[in-house]
Amino acid sequence: MISNNWKHYLRSFVIGSSYLVFFPYFFTVSSIDKSILNYTYEDYTFIAPVYLGLINTFSLFIANQYNLTRRMRYILFGSISPIFVSSISFMLNTYNYSTTEWTHYVISLFFKHFLVFNIIIYSLDKYI
């Protein structure tokens, strides 16, 4: 039998990797001109839900360690996650972007992650 604590972490992973959470990212990537992508859509559809599930699970771990409220947890990770993703994207050169396009990408990533964590994931976590 799974301990109660592990059930919370499993639930957190499932919420983070759910369709409602990753849909905004998939929609964005599917609408990008394929010539500027340095990865396949198939790779992205595998990596994105796993990443979002893991980061949501990690956010629960940190929230438990530091007694963060649900709201504080999602504000914090809605800000940390896009820093991590944009850093990895830049280091791996996942897009053939100009400096201006990279700037736009990072800004839109912050906006999207903040909304996803603080509206979609927060609501799923609170009401399910």
Give residue-wise pLDDT tens across range 39-65: 998 999 999 999 999 999 999 999 999
Phi and psi, residue 37, nearest 5°: -90, 140
**8-33: b or e for each residue (b if 16 or more CB lie within 10 Å)?**
ebebbbebbbbeebbeebeeebeeee
Mean pLDDT of the chain: 95
Q: How far apart are CA 91 and CA 74, in angstroms?
A: 25
Give residue-wise pLDDT tens across range 20-41: 999 999 989 989 999 999 999 8
